[in-house]
Structure 1
Amino acid sequence: MDWERRIMNQTPSADTGFQIWWQLMRPHTLTAAFVPVFLGTALAIAYTDLHVPLFLAMMIASLLIQAATNMFNEYFDFKRGLDTEKSIGIGGAIVRNGVKPKTVLHMAFAFFGIALLLGIYICAISSWWIGLIGVICMAVGYLYTGGPLPIAYTPFGEAASGFFMGGVIIYISFFIQTGFLSMTAVLFSFPIILLVGSINLANNIRDRIGDKEAGRKTIAILIGHDRAVMLLAASFVIAFLWVIVLLFTDLRSFWLFLSYLSIPKAFKAVNGFKGKSLPVQMMPAMKATAQTNTFYGFLLAIGLCISYLF
């Protein structure tokens, strides 16, 4: 097939060994898995004692699913011709590093397999309904770029990634610790849903031109660069204003405003996209978007933990 033969003509990268496999997992996106688990668990501590093995199992499983999703993205983007030697980004293990496509695909399924085993342990301790939800999350991870109509090719990529990675992961992390799901957990998940979705939006803003040529119809393509940047800014504004809403929950605390320390990263992200047209120019803005989610979610969880002490 054409996509397999392209490997023979690729330009090798200077990256070797661990760097290649680390970049294959696209580490800047792993915060989309880390933050929801951490926040969901921090929320649960208000209602029960922390079950450390469950927390660790959930954290590792979520990171594996996110990494596997990135590998599926790597594989299917190459298969469909989106990734070339000149593509901008930290992906490209196939086109630039000579990793065989089947190796990437098999590793993704291996990560799914390990996550599934951890999921069985989590279900045995909590509820087997969690298994069904986990399988749905894994299916979405695969179908994001796989299948006949990849989610990434539609305007629903941000919503899917935000809800399943930002929302559902928080709900599961909370539930396996407490045995129930509270409205408070749902309210705390809302800004994380927005911010995880924003990571996806930032990626689509950067890749808008190339994605359009490949037939994708992402939000960034449908509304254009400037409006997509405005949407990103609006998501940040709503996420920060939402902290005020959280003051009316049963876990209200002014320590939640620690999350506002991430505002400079949000400004950097938005300003980094304004007036830019080349993908390489927008890489710092993408990084700042991911950092906004990381710092916001982490500081929100830290604020919760501090509030428990007073």
Structure 2
Amino acid sequence: MKQDRYSFGRALRPFSFPVALITCLVGIVSASELPGFSYPLALLIILGALLLQAGVNLINDHADLQHLKNSIARGRVVRNFRLGLSFFLLAAAIGIYLISYTGLGLLVLLLVGLAGALGYTVEPVSFKRRGLAVVLVFWLMGVLMVCGSYYILAGELSWLVFWRSVPVSLISSLLLLANEIRDVESDRDAGIRTLTVRIGIDRARKLYLLLLLSVVAVASVLWIADAITGVWWLVSVPLIWLLYKQQQGSEGRASLPPASGRFFMLFGLLYCLSL
């Protein structure tokens, strides 16, 4: 296993930051026409979400410690884990302020998010090791982020916002799956049983395509049902074929996560314009 897999830059996974940005924006845009909408509060929500995303990314490899023999790699994992916890503390400080503004209902949402983030990789839960990370990310970095952002600004939850969260939540899962597809050989060799390792690369590729198509299908249904008002997101649809082709070869798989992140950013911004 290459030591640079656990370098700070790679562990930070900057290609995944569109997850935090876009999911929060969906909730923020959904609340933007409500009375008393606060732009400074919206910016604080985005900052807290980015810190949370960075923290989740940095602790992601902690479960690998039990399989690692290389002392340098182990040291990097421990360092990244500690940095991840520091990002969580910063996000928690923002969360405390937001709770004082919104109320204790937000505390429940934040505790659920924190428990999910730690359970993502930390034993004895370790959703990643159990092959459940793709499912967890849909709820944790998708639905919860969108609905939580809306709740802070609106003071209530909304079924409309929940359904609006589904397309970007699917791409959150897709982005993690892209990471698993890229790392399938090294994960298998290290005994890390991610979903892709469990079901095999061929089925993971099919699941990747299914998630891409599901994003378009759900967004289309939302538009037909008047849950969203525009179709700007259709501009990003041609990229789906390019992403599918890219994951077929080993060279394409290596750049699949950042390519998926760029798709997320483009689709997400256009989707926000369509709300």
TM-score when normalising by structure 2: 0.89
Tell whether 2:245 aligns with 1:259: no
Give the structure 2 partner of residue 218 of structure 1.
194
Greater CA drift, 214-223 or 54-63: 214-223
Shift of 1:34: 1.0
Task: Write out per-residue CA displacement over residues 44-73 of structure 1, whole angstroms, 9 at most, x where no aligned residue.
Answer: 124344312221221111111111111112
Tell whether 2:258 aligns with 1:287: yes
Give the 3 Å change call, closer, same or farther, for CA 207–192 of structure 1 in structure 2. Answer: same
Give the structure 2 partner of residue 56 of structure 1.
43
Whole-Å Cα distance in 2 between the matches of residues 57 and 12 of structure 1? 33
More helix by share: 2
Q: Is the 8 A contact 1:28 1:287 kept in 2?
A: yes
Whole-Å Cα distance in 2 between the matches of residues 11 and 166 of structure 1? 31
User: Structure 2: where are the runs of 5+ without partners?
Assistant: none
Task: Write out per-residue CA displacement over residues 166-214 of structure 1, whole angstroms, 9 at most, x where no aligned residue.
Answer: 1100001111111122221011111111110001111111222322233
Q: Is the 8 A contact 1:162 1:194 kept in 2?
A: yes
Report 1:200-239 matches (<5 A): 200-239=176-215
Structure of greater Rg: 1
Whole-Å Cα distance in 2 between the matches of residues 259 and 83 of structure 1? 46
* SS of aligned partner of 1:151: coil
Q: Is the 8 A contact 1:66 1:141 kept in 2?
A: no
Whole-Å Cα distance in 2 between the matches of residues 133 and 110 of structure 1? 20
Q: Is the 8 A contact 1:266 1:289 kept in 2?
A: no
Give the structure 2 partner of residue 17 of structure 1.
none
Give the structure 2 partner of residue 65 of structure 1.
52
1:195 pairs with one of 171, 176, 180? 171
Specify the code of the residue in structure 2 equivalent to 1:112: F
1:128 pairs with one of 104, 120, 134? 104
Give the 3 Å change call, closer, same or farther, for CA 271–100 of structure 1 in structure 2. Answer: closer
Whole-Å Cα distance in 1 between the matches of residues 172 and 68 of structure 2? 23
Whole-Å Cα distance in 2 between the matches of residues 80 and 143 of structure 1? 16
* SS of aligned partner of 1:180: coil
Shift of 1:259: 1.0
Shift of 1:31: 1.3
Q: Which 4+ residue blocks in structure 1 deviate beyond 6 angstroms?
A: 10-13
Q: Is the 8 A contact 2:138 2:172 kept in 1?
A: yes
Give the structure 1 partner of residue 152 of structure 2.
176
* SS of aligned partner of 1:217: coil
Q: Is the 8 A contact 1:199 1:289 kept in 2?
A: yes
Whole-Å Cα distance in 2 between the matches of residues 289 and 57 of structure 1? 26
Q: Is the 8 A contact 1:48 1:177 kept in 2?
A: no
Shift of 1:248: 4.4
After superposition, the CA RMSD in angstroms is: 2.7
2:21 pairs with one of 17, 27, 34? 34
User: Structure 1: where are the runs of 5+ without partners?
Assistant: 1-5, 14-19, 86-93, 305-310
Whole-Å Cα distance in 1 between the matches of residues 220 and 160 of structure 2? 13
Whole-Å Cα distance in 2 between the matches of residues 50 and 145 of structure 1? 36
Residue correspondences, number: 274
Taking every aligned residue pair, what percent have the same amino acid on both sides? Answer: 23
Give the structure 1 partner of residue 84 of structure 2.
108
Shift of 1:33: 1.0
Give the structure 2 partner of residue 241 of structure 1.
217
Give the 3 Å change call, closer, same or farther, for CA 232–63 of structure 1 in structure 2. Answer: same
